Structure 1
Amino acid sequence: MNIALVTGSAGLIGSESVAFMADKFDLVIGVDNNLREYFFGADGNTEWNKNRIQEAYTNYRHYSADIREVNQLEPIFKEYGADIKLIIHAAAQPSHDWAAREPFTDFGVNAVGTLNMLEMTRLHAPEAVFIFTSTNKVYGDNPNYLPLVELETRWEIDESHPYFTNGIDENHSIDHTKHSIFGASKVAADIMVQEYGKYFGMKTAVFRGGCLTGPNHSGAQLHGFLAYLMKCAITGNHYTIFGYKGKQVRDNIHSHDLVNMFWHFYQNPRPGEVYNAGGGRFANCSMLEAIELCEKITGNKLSFSYSDTNRIGDHIWYVSDLSKFKQHYPGWNWEFGLVETLTQIHDGIASRLGLKTV
């Protein structure tokens, strides 16, 4: 039997992974205990998404296990063992604001949980491909010291810099910088995943995501900015921009495009590899530009205000360079641009709210 195991399976990337892999594996196992609701309250509740994928995929099996507890993971790995061919580890505490409230919880989920998953894989399914969803926050605020230029609606890197054409590559330093507590816990996990590939020879890969987004995101104020921004545009709720005049730039990758990267890696794994994974120059926007797009799609004016205080360790400008991955896997490319992605997010939120879409 061929089995794919997905942690954080009711979240954005986890549920996309379940959908993507359901027709490629005999069984897809999901591990998710809805900790996102604890992090972000009702906005973060993923129960609706768990129910959706359980109804949609007959070969999906859900476990409400906590990745921080080996005694909850080990029975799953013992039951399925070497039949597990692919592991997508997408469970995380994803907010750098929230992490400072409970560093033990943040590190427990992000770092200890990842080590638990790696060790269970090494002991029970050592030939499995292990894919980890890391983050661009492992670079800390080093990107903020690049030569940036303020334009009318965004910050941009100086066109003379090597990063101007394609964005920030994997050689950008992760050292000597402020990461946020979240960024530091993800660095620990990121390095450990690399090490299990390089030291033990396991088929591990790190994908350092930009803004991961899509229609099944339970966006909240502290995480999932495009989904939460669109939700505010639809409902009329107030939105607050934190720092940088709203000109901070993010690249955005649709969850399907990211999981398709995983699939390409699975078919030809390169142990211990690291890839940046975002929208790159194909799909990026500033906060102000995202607001304009949300207003255009919804037909509503967004109620928003500025806070002069930026989030600690936040990026002023970040665009991922995916050249390395595209060189290794030339059959992959983006499928969903920014407008199409935002339109899907709008329609998904409107549907869950019981609103009609055009």
Structure 2
Amino acid sequence: MKVLVTGSAGLIGSEAAAFFDSLGFAVDGLDNNTRADFFGPRGDTTWNRQRLEATLDHYTHVELDIRDREAVDRLIARGGHDLVIHAAAQPSHDLAASRPFDDFDTNAVGTLNLLEACRRHRPDVVFITVSTNKVYGDNPNRLPLVELETRYDYADPADAEGIDETMSIEGCLHSLFGASKVAADVLTQEYGRYFGMRTGAFRGGCLTGPHHSGVELHGFLSYLVAQAVTGGPYTIFGYKGKQVRDQLHSADVVSAFWAFAQDPRPGEVYNLGGGKANAASLLELVEMVAERSGTRPELTWDDTNRVGDHICYYTDMGKFREHFPGWRQEWALDAIVDEMVGAVATSHRS
């Protein structure tokens, strides 16, 4: 099998590249480090690309921008790929507002370029798009919530397991980032439903792990850990720090992709997250990180929440578990935080 991973120097892309390399598959990793342009030096993923090239046996790096339609078409035409993991994206709400063309051209048009090239040259490929829970806009904020001492939670027992795929993506505020990802998500569905291609869209929540180049505008747990270990500043935006997210380790993300790739359901959509057991508020995560690292960030507070930000979001993965009962989530929240603190501390000492 031959695999194409876009965004291969990012968190999910690098995890996917390493996973499929370990299975003995040839892996083409497509990444042009646009993240450094989007987020500056802290977003630079050169270190991760170099790590992949130095440690993987079957990995070939491809310097290519997914916005370049002709280059994408040439790559797919000659590549012979059986599986595409499309993880390249512009991932920030705030950046999308200041650079809307870069955001839409990367997220929506880049996805279209890849899908159409596959339809023309590799119609039997399995194509997985890393989508986002931001396709639901701020609709999750309309669910009844209860405010507890350190977090918000769902008030209705019907929502006890979190957000499932029946949540509407209509009639809500998405942010421009959310809108561009809706386009990519729906395109992925349509290439499955309309053209019969073996596509799937995975609506990720907080996907995390030690190979994340976290910045303030994206990758909050990675960024929080880095700021805590170095004693740097960290700003909490809105909701008193009680906003809740569920964390899913990148290794569990990629194992879910592999489960789908072996038995794809064309045009299907799945929510992807750590679930209730891996959910914690920002306040709670600050304390978890401080307990494990022995240090804490210099906290500042901004009462203004980010546009379209969720107050409480954790993922109901019941649909995916029903379709793929062999999949297992291996990483608990404590283990995720321990690993990330250890990785950042080691990097900081070196």
Q: Where on the TM-score scale, by shorter chain, does this alignment land: which range?
A: over 0.9
Distance 1:123 1:347 in 2: 45
Whether 1:108 aligns to 2:77 is: no
Letter in 1 for 2:74: P
Partner of 1:163: 159
Distance 1:248 1:125 in 2: 42
Partner of 1:132: 129
Query: How far off is 1:263 after superposition?
Result: 0.3
Distance 1:61 1:351 in 2: 28
- Aligned-partner SS, 1:275: strand
Partner of 1:310: 305
Distance 2:295 2:38 in 1: 29
Whether 1:76 aligns to 2:75 is: yes
Within the candidate set 242, 255, 260, 1:265 is matched to: 260
The aligned runs of 1:114-193 (5 Å cut-off) are 114-158=111-155, 160-164=156-160, 166-193=161-188
State TM-score, norm by structure 1: 0.96
Query: How far off is 1:187 after superposition?
Result: 0.3
Structure 1 residues 25 and 123: CA distance shift in structure 2, 3 A: farther
- Aligned-partner SS, 1:218: coil
How big is each residue's C-alpha offset from its partner over 1:67-109, in whole Å with a ceiling of 9 and x where there is no partner?
00112212211222xx311000000000111110010000000
Letter in 2 for 1:44: G
How big is each residue's C-alpha offset from its partner over 1:116-143, in whole Å with a ceiling of 9 and x where there is no partner?
0101111111111000000000000000
Whether the 8 Å contact between 1:276 and 1:322 is mirrored in structure 2 is: yes
The aligned runs of 1:183-332 (5 Å cut-off) are 183-332=178-327
Letter in 1 for 2:71: Q
Distance 1:255 1:288 in 2: 23
Distance 1:234 1:23 in 2: 31
**Greater than 6 Å deviation, 4+ residue runs:** none
Partner of 2:57: 58
Within the candidate set 311, 322, 329, 1:334 is matched to: 329
Distance 2:130 2:104 in 1: 15
Letter in 2 for 1:287: L
How big is each residue's C-alpha offset from its partner over 1:283-324, in whole Å with a ceiling of 9 and x where there is no partner?
111000000011011101321011001000000000110000
- Aligned-partner SS, 1:282: helix
Within the candidate set 87, 103, 107, 1:90 is matched to: 87
Distance 2:162 2:327 in 1: 18
Query: How far off is 1:352 after superposition?
Result: 2.4
CA RMSD of aligned residues (A): 0.9
Structure 1 residues 301 and 354: CA distance shift in structure 2, 3 A: closer
Runs of 5+ in structure 1 lacking a partner?
Answer: none
Partner of 2:23: 24
Query: How far off is 1:25 after superposition?
Result: 4.6
Distance 2:272 2:107 in 1: 19
Query: How far off is 1:347 after superposition?
Result: 1.9
Query: How far off is 1:339 after superposition?
Result: 1.3
Distance 2:9 2:345 in 1: 19
Query: How far off is 1:23 after superposition?
Result: 2.8
- Aligned-partner SS, 2:98: coil
Identity over the aligned pairs, expressed in percent? 54
- Aligned-partner SS, 2:247: strand
- Aligned-partner SS, 2:271: strand
Whether the 8 Å contact between 2:73 and 2:114 is mirrored in structure 1 is: no
